[in-house]
Amino acid sequence: MINRVYNFSAGPSMLPLEVLKRVQSKLLDYEGSGMSVMEMSHRSKYYDAINNEAESLLRELMHVPDNYDIIFVQGGASMQFEAIPLNIHVNGKADYILSGNFSTKSYKEAKKFTDARAAASSEDKNFTYIPETTVDSFRPDADYVHICYNNTIYGTRFTKLPETPAGVPLVGDVSSNILSQEIDVSKFGVLYGGAQKNVAPAGVTVVIVRKDLQDKWSDICPTMLKWSTQIAQKSLYNTPPCWSTYVAMEVFRYLKEIGGVPAMQKINEEKAKILYDYLDESKFFVNKVNKKDRSLMNVPFFSPSAELDAKFIAEAAKEGLVTLKGHKLVGGMRASIYNAMPIEGVKKLVAFMKKFEVENG
Amino acid sequence: MINRVYNFSAGPSMLPLEVLKRVQSKLLDYEGSGMSVMEMSHRSKYYDAINNEAESLLRELMHVPDNYDIIFVQGGASMQFEAIPLNIHVNGKADYILSGNFSTKSYKEAKKFTDARAAASSEDKNFTYIPETTVDSFRPDADYVHICYNNTIYGTRFTKLPETPAGVPLVGDVSSNILSQEIDVSKFGVLYGGAQKNVAPAGVTVVIVRKDLQDKWSDICPTMLKWSTQIAQKSLYNTPPCWSTYVAMEVFRYLKEIGGVPAMQKINEEKAKILYDYLDESKFFVNKVNKKDRSLMNVPFFSPSAELDAKFIAEAAKEGLVTLKGHKLVGGMRASIYNAMPIEGVKKLVAFMKKFEVENG
């Protein structure tokens, strides 16, 4: 007897049930191959088809222009925090906007390999807003400007992209908002993201690199971290994380079937509105994020006390509303409502919050 | 209707059918969690239990002594080719035994970060044997001596480990023979291997590091490549490749159930003997490897001509004996008979080879 929960985990997180069922049904024999995708050579015709379709579907879904390459690599966004300054290394300086935990982490890692500078920060108010910048906030000879597009832990996102000086590419971490909303790829030099929120099970990382940024690596960049290594081999330089890329392909197919990113964004906006509208009217729960910077994906909120937070989390879990505990840097609760969270899950959460407010308010 | 094949792929390769069935049955709901392992937070109690059990079972199966740590990381053995000289960097020199493709690749990658030297090589005879060394083959102030324990492409393996100078640790790539035979971990400073042959689906890499070798990194070693980063966090510094580690745990459980490495080694020796015995008596097929250096895992062989090789591969596939084409560096055929290849698969292959010899000899 299968009793699925609504899992509000910040990542790894829910996958579409339809995708899981498809994957399960083909697990012992993928399309007549007589083997699982977990068992097949990455040089086989079966896997080649998967790898190609994953790339072309992602290109289609995100409208990735022809002058960009897409690769599927290992290591997570954390590996890219170091790969970025090692791959784009011309003047040896780079500007970072610090809007949360991962942007700060990427900035600190970059310092080892480039003159990284914090061009703006919202640390003064515990990252509850997105810092404003102008073109003058950045060095004109910076190799790039880095942002984290959506901040998983603090629940903020950029609703307007920063303007960078002429010729300075924007690099964006889209781990927690890729495919959840329309993203104008042409505004970026590089986009990257771990798969485990909106794309696939953990273990694969998407990197989208404009062609003119593929030959600017530092001498000390390891071969395996060099984007050009995998671009030249279509992500097959060494054995890739086949299973994660395969599930990503199934997620891309499913997303296309339901209407692509515009349809998904509409659903996500609806889900977020249900939750934020209730938070704004509640006399009990509160979201502390600057309204215009609110994330569509991650919604931190608080009850009046740490004791009530703990009670809420425990009682919600009994109702099948799980992984609602906030990150330790923020506290309280956090509902991550990625693409695969059904609207019913958000409705059930809000209904439970209302009931909890009545009982404990 | 499921019609499984015998898949002789060099990797990714077969997984035990029993493991695949267990994984399939729990795919939508892992042990009452209401979610797939692909969906759960790596900080959840469920995944914590998986991560811990994978580590402790591998420690038990390989008799890993207490003064070694085990981590599960991303990037494959190829990433470790660079991680090794960046992690063990004291005198900035390292000696390599070149016994095939991957040992040569690791040597070439190491040159970027250390004074790597080829202490011995079997390239003169296209890597059909394991080069002999004595303690004097190595520099006494080398940071380490590196070997590839089993050579996947050329079908050789070390049956006797090289003696290194006092205090110089041996580093071994065990990608294609881990858990297939007893390995004396205490003879090594570091062992590492990609999972996709004997352990799990591609995407996770096992690294076993002696404690005294965990603080010798180079200044330019990226945080994500530093073993100590993941050791300190029990492989959870960033989001790990959860699914691959989970399947690894199921493989370890299964291996323990059937009697552990000694039982597996016995089966593997039996499988290899069936194939080599036939090759030695055949007037048609030939294995060109130095007999005493023959691999238990990878068996390259040739018919009298490239045309007959192609015919053999095509006809074998029709019988459900697939991925038998040899690597392009060697040609001919190659049967990879890893742990999960049943003895029935090897018997069926040999029966088919005999029939093919009669028909085409």
Domain limits, chain A:
6-17+259-360, 18-257
Beta bridge partners of A147: A172
Q: How far does A266 lie from chain B, in Å, by closest CA?
A: 23
pTM above 0.95, yes or no: yes
Residue A307 makes CB contacts below 8 A (sequence gap 6+) with none
Among residues B119, B77, B83, which one has the least CA distance to residue B98? B119
Enumerate the residues of chain B whose CB falls inside 8 A of the CB of residue A322. 34-35
pLDDT tens-digit readout, A267-318 = 999 999 999 999 999 999 999 999 999 999 999 999 999 999 999 999 999 9
CA–CA separation, A106 vs B350, rounded Å?
Answer: 55
Residue B198 confidence (pLDDT) above 90? yes
pLDDT at A1: 67
Q: How far does A174 lie from chain B, in Å, by closest CA?
A: 15
Instruction: Inform me whether the C-beta atom of residue A140 falls under 8 Å from chain B C-beta atoms.
Output: no
Cβ pair B28, A4 in contact under 8 A:
yes
pLDDT at A265: 98
Q: Tell me what the mean pLDDT of segment B321-340 comes to.
A: 97
Please name the residues between 110 and 129 in chain A that touch chain B, using a CB distance below 8 Å: 112
pLDDT at A2: 76
Instruction: Inform me whether the C-beta atom of residue A193 falls under 8 Å from chain B C-beta atoms.
Output: no
Q: Is A93 helix (H, G, I), strand (E, B) or coil?
A: strand
Return the residue in B2, B14, B39, B323 with the most chain A beta carbons within 10 A, the one to mutate for interface testing. B39
CA–CA separation, A176 vs A296, rounded Å?
Answer: 10
Instruction: Inform me whether the C-beta atom of residue B239 falls under 8 Å from chain A C-beta atoms.
Output: yes
Return the residue in A8, A19, A39, A51 with the most chain B beta carbons within 10 A, the one to mutate for interface testing. A39
Return the residue in B238, B319, B325, B341 with the most chain A beta carbons within 10 A, the one to mutate for interface testing. B238
Q: Tell me what the mean pLDDT of segment B233-241 comes to.
A: 98
Instruction: Inform me whether the C-beta atom of residue A239 falls under 8 Å from chain B C-beta atoms.
Output: yes
Q: How far does B289 lie from chain A, in Å, by closest CA?
A: 24
Which of B266-298 are b and which e, b meaning 16 or more Cβ less than 10 Å from the residue's Cβ? ebbeebbebbbebbeebebbebbbeeebbbbbb
CATH H-level superfamily of B6-17+259-360: Aspartate Aminotransferase, domain 1 (3.90.1150.10)
Residue B201 confidence (pLDDT) above 70? yes
Q: Choose among B39, B204, B323: nearest Cβ to A7.
A: B39
Q: How far does A356 lie from chain B, in Å, by closest CA?
A: 23
Q: Report which DSSP code applies to A12.
A: S
Q: Choose among B38, B112, B320: nearest Cβ to A34.
A: B320
Instruction: Inform me whether the C-beta atom of residue A248 falls under 8 Å from chain B C-beta atoms.
Output: no
- Does ipTM exceed 0.90? yes
Please name the residues between 1 and 40 in chain A that touch chain B, using a CB distance below 8 Å: 2-5, 7, 9-15, 17, 20-21, 23-24, 27-29, 32-36, 38-40
Residue B323 confidence (pLDDT) above 70? yes
pLDDT at A111: 98
For residue A158, how many other CB atoms are within 10 A of its CB?
19
pLDDT tens-digit readout, B293-317 = 999 999 999 999 999 999 999 999 9
Q: According to CATH, what is the number of the domain A18-257?
A: 3.40.640.10
Q: How far does A77 lie from chain B, in Å, by closest CA?
A: 9
pLDDT tens-digit readout, A194-212 = 999 999 999 999 999 999 9
Q: Is the preceding omega at residue A165 within 30 degrees of 0, hence cis?
A: no
Q: Is the Cβ pair B244, A247 closer than 8 Å?
A: no
Q: Tell me what the mean pLDDT of segment A222-227 comes to.
A: 98
Would you say how long chain A is, in residues? 361
Q: Is the Cβ pair A17, B28 closer than 8 Å?
A: yes
Instruction: Inform me whether the C-beta atom of residue A137 falls under 8 Å from chain B C-beta atoms.
Output: no
Q: Is the Cβ pair B203, A74 closer than 8 Å?
A: yes
Which of B306-331 are b and which e, b meaning 16 or more Cβ less than 10 Å from the residue's Cβ? eebbeebbeebeeeebbbbbbbeebe
Residue B268 confidence (pLDDT) above 80? yes
Q: Is the Cβ pair B201, A34 closer than 8 Å?
A: no
Across chain A, mean pLDDT equals: 98
Residue whose pair of structure tokens reads 């990433």 in the numeric block: B79
Q: How far does A284 lie from chain B, in Å, by closest CA?
A: 28
Among residues B321, B62, B49, B314, which one has the least CA distance to residue B182? B62
Instruction: Inform me whether the C-beta atom of residue B290 falls under 8 Å from chain A C-beta atoms.
Output: no
pLDDT at B350: 98
Residue B226 makes CB contacts below 8 A (sequence gap 6+) with B83, B86, B87, B217
* Angle, alpha carbons A289-A183-A227 (nearest 5°): 110
Same fold, B6-17+259-360 and B18-257: no
State what percent of residues in chain B have pLDDT above 70: 100
Q: Is the Cβ pair B35, A5 closer than 8 Å?
A: yes
Which of A307-327 are b and which e, b meaning 16 or more Cβ less than 10 Å from the residue's Cβ? ebbeebbeebeeeebbbbbbb
Cβ pair B135, B95 in contact under 8 A:
no
Enumerate the residues of chain A whose CB falls inside 8 A of the CB of residue B112. 220, 222-223
Instruction: Inform me whether the C-beta atom of residue B317 falls under 8 Å from chain A C-beta atoms.
Output: no
What is the number of CB-based contacts under 8 A between chain A and chain B? 209
